[in-house]
Structure 1
């Protein structure tokens, strides 16, 4: 009876971890706690859910203004599904495609040297709250993910809420990609 109980406990904890959000304070309910950078403010008025959202403004200039969070990739993670709710106002853009409001996932090694980066969202203009999702296979040798939320060398306002990074098994990743490919045909 005892081995069955231990197996059940292990199985339940594995299932619970499978859908765990790796991003800490992704809803900005605790101010900007767990996020690096001092350019974002909390907005209790413009949010998708909960009591707060985050806001980055840049009215003049074309600086990179962003916040980021570094997260460890759990063992046996094949891929990660990133999602975020974003609202924008008057994002002008620039000469380069990346001059926009962005969410970028940068995969790094243990020394935080970049291996690869993936753009999850890249927005210009004015938009209402929109969800952006992207499932990304973990590159070889990646140990960490740096999630960046920014106005990438452009002016405007961008609001963020409900930032998530959910670890996926190979089966979950393949199932998501099969659904995505089928729905596009």
Structure 2
């Protein structure tokens, strides 16, 4: 009985501490379901960080903007969000402009779907192994939605994405994270 009680206590503490991912299918386990721009990439069951698949975008000529995106509503009075993403780059051409790279970008929009702010979470050029990028961002006061873009931004090469996660943060959690990174 004592073991059951301890196990139950552990399970409850894990559930209380677990944060819910606002994105659906952030690990690409269900193909590209819930992601827009499916024509811009594919799934890779061979090169993945975890699970069954990763998503990839590749481009060999043209250096166009290619991306997947997903938009989700924010709960009222959301103070901040934390976005984390695993990304791997292969042969991403080095362009003169910094923004021309493999990237994870979040955009905040208002009730009229107009942009009220954006942040780059990850940017990579050349060839990298899997890297976990993570960033906490204060939500603009007029933001109602968040759009997560996984992109190969006007350059050529191949980029893989996996385990994309967006969670909400309270003011205290955000302050604690920011004081740890300074």
Provide the TM-score with structure 1 as the length reference: 0.87
Q: 1:96 to 1:22 in 2, by over 3 A?
A: same
1:77 deviation in Å? 1.6
What's the CA shift for 1:18?
6.9
Q: What does 1:1-185 correspond to in 2, within 5 Å?
A: 16=16, 19-37=19-37, 38-181=39-182
The answer as to whether partners of 1:101 and 1:158 remain within 8 angstroms in 2 is: yes
Give CA-to-partner distance per residue, 1:25-80, whole Å, 9 cap, x none: 00000000000002120100010000110010001111001010001111232100
Change (3 A) 1:159 1:168: same
String of CA shifts for 1:97-127, please: whole Å, max 9, x gaps: 1000000000001221101110000110000
Contact 1:82 1:135 in 2 (8 A): yes
* In 2, Cα distance between equivalents of 1:97 and 1:169: 32
Structure 2 residues not aligned, in runs of 5+ = 1-11
Task: Give the Cα–Cα distance (whole angstroms) in 2 for the partners of residues 144 and 18 of structure 1.
Answer: 22
Query: Structure 1 stretches of 5 or more lacking a match?
Result: 1-11
Q: Give TM-score, length-normalised by structure 2.
A: 0.89
Aligned length: 168
Asked whether the 8 Å contact 1:80–1:165 carries over to 2, the reply is yes
CA distance, structure 2, for counterparts of residue 36 and residue 19 of structure 1:
24
RMSD: 1.4
**Runs of 4+ displaced beyond 3 Å:** 15-18
Q: Specify the SS of the correspondent of 2:28.
A: coil
For residues 75 and 18 of structure 2, the distance between their equivalents in structure 1, rounded to whole angstroms, comes to: 10
SS in 2 for 1:80: strand
Alpha-carbon deviation of 1:178? 0.9
Is the 1:54–1:160 contact (alpha carbons within 8 Å) kept by the matching residues of 2?
Answer: yes
Distance in structure 2 (CA, Å) of the matches to 1:105 and 1:134: 10
